[in-house]
Amino acid sequence: MNRRRVIGKILASVGTLLFVVVFNFFLFRVVESDPVANLYRGRNLSQEQREELRREFGLDGSQAEQFARYVVQTAQLNLGRSYVSNEPVASEIARRAWPTVALVGVSALLSALIGILIGIVAAWRRGSKTDYVSTGFTMTTYSMPDFWLGMLLLLVFAVGLGWFPVGGIADPQTGGGLERLIDQAHHIVLPAATLTLAYLGEYALIMRSSLLDTMREDYLLLARAKGLRDVAVRNRHAVPNALLPVTTLLAINIGFVLSGAIAVETIFSWPGLGLATFEALSGPDLPMLQGLFLVFSAAVIVANLAADLLYSYLDPRVRTA
């Protein structure tokens, strides 16, 4: 791979991240002009108490001084302290990241695998009843808002049938070890199914379109002329080349799903970063919102960089461009 191209992509990503850091500071200060006044609304605080709270929350001094302090602290991975819990924001995010990583990881893997299989079958049987049914189903689920889909699954399978828990990550009465792991797997089914169905159509439609384009290539005609069966032509030649766009889509979507699980986590009371965002907005908890926005933005930037580099590695045409 061209080294200059890699360095250029990395520098562009770093530049984007620096812009996000700066934008992150000014965005929430425009939205939230005086957090102390809003947090302690209705309380008779003296001016000295208000000034002490501003110093404690890092809101003292001019905006330039606050910005310089914010940049230095962010470079040290110090994202401040939560207004609500008074705990370090970095610790809060680290504690709540793993439930989101587990949920996003399971749903991204399932939606990619199932979507790719549906796309392959639909493309190979283009114009058939299977194609119409599978494409119609994936387009329907893709067009549904994930929060509405989550509430529908919750209403049917948790409230109506009682097959799954209503929310949370585990039953408080559950023990440790294997028993707790099984209980967590039981709790993750509905939120993971919601995200899987929400992103399933994207993989299926792109895989179908990519495979249809690949099937028009001359080398597939040559493979058939050599006497290879359709199954062998599809599995050995068509599918591997058609997977390139889907591979990069998976890398990009991991970053976006990480930040896009807010509604699903809130509906299912899943104690991850999405629910933490909803709780921080309810506060409002300015340092927590800043930290979460930075983490979500960094995840998208890193995922896009990984997808770009991965595509360059997989496709020689991009590598030599």
pLDDT tens digits, residue range 14-35?
A: 898 889 888 888 776 655 555 6
Q: What is the pLDDT of residue 286?
A: 80
Cβ neighbours of 10 (radius 10 Å): 13
Asked whether 112 and 207 are in contact (CB, 8 A), the reply is: no
Q: What tokens does 238 get?
A: 């068509």
* Tens digit of each residue's pLDDT (9 = 90 or more) over 253-281: 777 666 667 888 888 888 888 888 888 88
Rounded Cα distance, 181 and 174, in Å: 10
Taking each helix axis from N to C end, the angle separating 129-143 and 177-214, rounded to the nearest 10 degrees, works out to: 120
Q: What tokens does 78 get?
A: 């110090």
User: What mean pLDDT, rounded, does the chain reach?
Assistant: 79
Rounded to an integer, the average pLDDT of 169-198 is 83
Asked whether 112 and 313 are in contact (CB, 8 A), the reply is: no
Q: What tokens does 83 get?
A: 């207004």
pLDDT band at 88 (very low <50, low <70, confident <90, very high): confident
Rounded to an integer, the average pLDDT of 276-295 is 83
* Tens digit of each residue's pLDDT (9 = 90 or more) over 114-132: 988 898 888 888 888 888 8
pLDDT surpasses 80 at 219: no
Q: What tokens does 128 get?
A: 């058939």
Closest CA to 106 of 36, 30, 189, 47: 189
DSSP letter (8 states) at residue 161? S
Asked whether 25 and 306 are in contact (CB, 8 A), the reply is: no
pTM above 0.85, yes or no: no
pLDDT band at 191 (very low <50, low <70, confident <90, very high): very high
